[in-house]
Amino acid sequence: MGVGSRMKPPVIQREMVRDLLQRLDVHKSMGPGGIHPRVLRELAEVLTKPLSVTYQQSWQTGEVPVDWRLANVTHIYMTGQKDDLGNYRPVSLTSVPGRVMEQIILGQEYFLLG
């Protein structure tokens, strides 16, 4: 393909979405969306279709739901004196559906580049 040509967006496979939902770590934070990973994991069969459609539309339009762009920033202690602010690093806690979408995009990029 030439430099200026556009590739057809890949189809988001429901099986991929279901697999990612079923493998969510239930010990991770729920982020600003308020949806706990355990809920998404336990309802994977029911949520696979609507999330697949949402991910596909997002991929095609380039628009991401507003709630998925929000993040709670917290600081994680690393090493050294706890009263030294330089010993903490900021971490962004994002929504679980947004994190699943990131994994889909990373998987697609790997597939397209690899």
d(CA 22, CA 41): 5
Q: How many CB atoms lie within 10 A of CB 98?
A: 19
Delimit the domains of the chain by residue range. Answer: 14-69+95-113
Question: What are the phi and psi torsion angles at 104 (to 5°)?
Answer: -65, -45
Classify 56 as helix, strand or coil.
Answer: helix
Give 114 or 92, the one with higher predicted confidence.
Answer: 92
- State pTM to two decimals: 0.77
d(CA 86, CA 90): 10
Q: What does the pLDDT look like over 54-71, one tens digit per residue?
A: 999 998 898 999 989 899
Report pLDDT for 112. 43
Question: What are the phi and psi torsion angles at 100 (to 5°)?
Answer: -65, -40
